[in-house]
Homo-oligomer: A and B are copies of this chain.
Amino acid sequence: MVRILPGLAQRKMSAPDVMRGEETLLLGAVLERGVSGTICLPGTHSKWVTIDEAEVCGFSTSMTGEIFSLLQSHSVLAHSVQQAAGENDDDEAFQSAVREAVNSPEKILQALFSVRSASLLQQTATARPMRARLSGLLLGLEIAGVRDIAQEQVTLISSGQLAHSYRHALESVGFQCKLIDADEMVLAGLCHAAGQIWPNLKAER
């Protein structure tokens, strides 16, 4: 028998939002690790969640990952960054871009085009630092957008390279990060939900 877990809907007129999938990771993180406060779940549509006493008080979604992917593959910036797809980041270019976007989020449309201009005009602007810059600008913009709701201590639920990039970005602008593995949390959340639906299954674990 297959069951689908429901997501969350935030039915506020001023901040409508939906979550489909991340609630399972949150369930695991709350039950297994007792997380609370500010939680960041990076991804195609990054979620920032506030949890108090095991309850979701509110959340907001940023289109960071999807816009990065569109710009990297389908925009004029592809010429400047695509050769470096999959390569490790250039730390200096990445951090400097994070800080630039956190400090001047209103300049993002211009900063993004500068990736193209720099690669045309500057010899040092090769694909690797430019890809790191593109990534850093978008992560910085995401962080700029949640600064008013985020606590200084952030619980990051993520895995792999994405976890590394977000931790790096957050720490470079003064946040403290506690990393929890996303794959473990999704399993914990699913097992708990299955235990609620099928109590016998729980006994067999």
Contacts and interface: CB of A to CB of B under 8 A. Distances in A.
Interface of A: 9-11, 13, 15-18, 45, 60-64, 66-67, 70-71, 74-76, 105-110, 112-114, 116-118, 120-122, 125, 138, 141-142, 144-147
B145 A62 contact: no
B75 A110 contact: no
Contact of A109 (B110, B116, B141): B141
Contacts of A16: 114, 117-118, 120-122, 125
Nearest to A44: B76
A70 B68 CA distance: 11
B67 A109 contact: yes
Contacts of A147: 106
Contacts of A74: 70, 74
Nearest to A11: B121
A42 to B, nearest CB: 12
Contact of A106 (B15, B118, B141): B141
29 contacts: A9-B121, A10-B117, A11-B121, A15-B114, A16-B117, A16-B118, A16-B121, A18-B120, A18-B121, A45-B76, A61-B117, A62-B113, A63-B75, A63-B112, A63-B113, A67-B71, A67-B109, A70-B70, A105-B105, A105-B108, A106-B147, A108-B141, A108-B145, A109-B138, A109-B141, A109-B142, A109-B145, A110-B145, A110-B146
Contact of A113 (B61, B75, B108, B125): B61
